[in-house]
Amino acid sequence: MALLPLAAVFRRGHVVTWLGTVLMGWVFSVSTAVGAGANGGKVDLSAASVVVPAGMTGPEKKALAMLIDEVGKRSQVRWSVGNALPPAGQASVVLGQRAALLQAFPALADKLNATPTGKPEGYRIFSLPPSTVVVAGNDARGVLFGAGRLLRLMDFDRRSVVLARTDDIATAPAYPLRGHQLGYRPKTNAYDAWDTAMWEQYIRDLVIFGANAIEGIPPRSDDAADSPHFPMSPIQGLIEQSRIAQEYGIEFWIWYPALDRDYAERHWRVLLHVNRVLHEFRTSFIGKCSPVHFFWGSFDLAVTRFSGRRVPLHPGGVPNLPDAVAQEAYSHEVSSAGFWPGSAGVEYPAFYSYAYPEPPGFWSAPICPKEAFYSEGLREYILPYDAVRTAGDPERALMDFLTSTYEAAANTGNWDRVALECPLGQPGIPRKV
């Protein structure tokens, strides 16, 4: 079996169709003015410090850095950062997730609890007398977009930062996807002379106005493969865009329809080879077994074996999957394996195998080939596609992985293997009984 390198990029659990660029002025629902500012006037933040709770996530730290950097660019004022509320009368901006602020700063509880927890990516901005401004995000992205909104509300002058509007604002996005398509290529609209710092500033500006997604155009989608203005290679430019998006905690994917024919053809050929091995693997099981099937949403090609035993109701909560579907799919004990082109958590094409419910000892069972490993984050076994592609016998390597991970599930889960298994057969040919 001659497996080929997979060049396309997908995101597991997402359909990667671009919905179009959304005008940034429309991305948030109309703000709700909960009440007038506590001091009824302007708040001078020129000498303010930023107060944050301990343990902020990466995107929240990026929101903090964005706020401080952009204030400095506009006013020459450099805010300091601390983890404690300042003495009364000293100006401050309190920034963080609502839940973390409640835990870290009980003095803010009455005001923070005045409104219920809002929708995802939403935030609340309010002021307290005499000169405290609070930005409370409903989640990490809410902190990011709340910081961006504060930047748009403040007035700047040399050595001066003033918040003129002190209404209590609570808002959340009207649309779940608010993005922009970017291309690092020799086109008039593609900014091929930009370096990484310039790309970050552009993406930051999009975030300030509420963008939560970037769609990258792949390097091989253009007339020319290079530009005299490129400060880095096209592929490196795409990598930098994705890294920046990751740091800000926003979505990033590649515009797949732009890929050349050989990208899609290579993926198709990989699926053909994997499909054949999965069908052969399926012949050694006479219990209930799914067909070898392809999931369009995540681009998984998979096959699932069932022990026949019912399990407790699945708790649901699987991203992009209704609870009712998850509960029906996992109503019985399973061992499932397949191939997918990679996603967050495993940034490369790979084979996977998992058991549900996961029996004790599954994670430490002996598995082959040696390149396979158990992912704590995904709670499944992973075998990189390249390990199979470069193996002396790729088909044998994949079959060993499928068999050993199934045996791990069956043995640790006490399946009735005698009743459920049989020797390997040939797909489409009835076995003799």
pLDDT of residue 262: 72
- Element holding 409 (H helix, E strand): helix 394-412
Segment 11-45, tens digit of pLDDT: 333 333 333 333 344 345 444 444 444 445 789 99
pLDDT of residue 401: 98
Long-range contacts of 226-232 (CB under 8 A, 24+ apart): 226/186, 227/185, 227/186, 227/192, 229/186, 229/192, 229/193, 230/184, 230/186, 230/192, 230/193, 231/193, 231/194, 231/195, 232/195, 232/196
pLDDT of residue 255: 82
pLDDT of residue 267: 86
Average pLDDT estimate for 326-355: 91
Number of structural domains found in the chain: 3
Q: Could you tell me if residue 18 is inside a domain?
A: no
pLDDT of residue 33: 46
User: Residue 217 pLDDT more than 60?
Assistant: yes
Average pLDDT estimate for 353-377: 96
Q: Give yes or no: residues 91 and 154 share one domain.
A: yes
**Order of strands, sheet of 332-340, starting from the edge strand that comes earlier in the sequence:** 293-295, 300-310, 332-340, 350-356, 380-384, 373-375
184-188, 296-300, 408-412, range with the lowest pLDDT: 184-188
Q: Give yes or no: residues 51 and 194 share one domain.
A: no
Q: Could you tell me if residue 164 is inside a domain?
A: yes
Q: Could you tell me if residue 281 is inside a domain?
A: yes
pLDDT of residue 359: 96
pTM greater than 0.85 (yes/no):
no
* Token digits of residue 360: 């004790």
Under a CB-based contact definition with an 8 Å cutoff, are residues 58 and 249 in contact?
Answer: yes
Q: Give yes or no: residues 244 and 282 share one domain.
A: no
Q: Could you tell me if residue 428 is inside a domain?
A: no
Q: Give yes or no: residues 249 and 271 share one domain.
A: no
Share above pLDDT 90 across residues of the chain, in percent, rounded to a whole number: 66
Average pLDDT, the chain: 86
Average pLDDT estimate for 316-326: 86
29-38, 76-85, 87-96, 126-135, range with the lowest pLDDT: 29-38
Q: Which domain holds residue 389?
A: 262-420
Segment 280-305, tens digit of pLDDT: 999 999 999 999 999 877 789 999 99
Q: Could you tell me if residue 15 is inside a domain?
A: no
Q: Could you tell me if residue 104 is inside a domain?
A: yes
Residue 65 identity (one-letter amino acid): A
| Calpha distance 72→77 (Å, rounded) | 5
Q: Could you tell me if residue 368 is inside a domain?
A: yes
Q: Give yes or no: residues 98 and 196 share one domain.
A: no
Q: Which of 300, 309, 366 is nearest to 339 (CA)?
A: 300
Q: Give yes or no: residues 339 and 243 share one domain.
A: no
Q: Where among 171, 205, 239 does a domain terminate?
A: 171
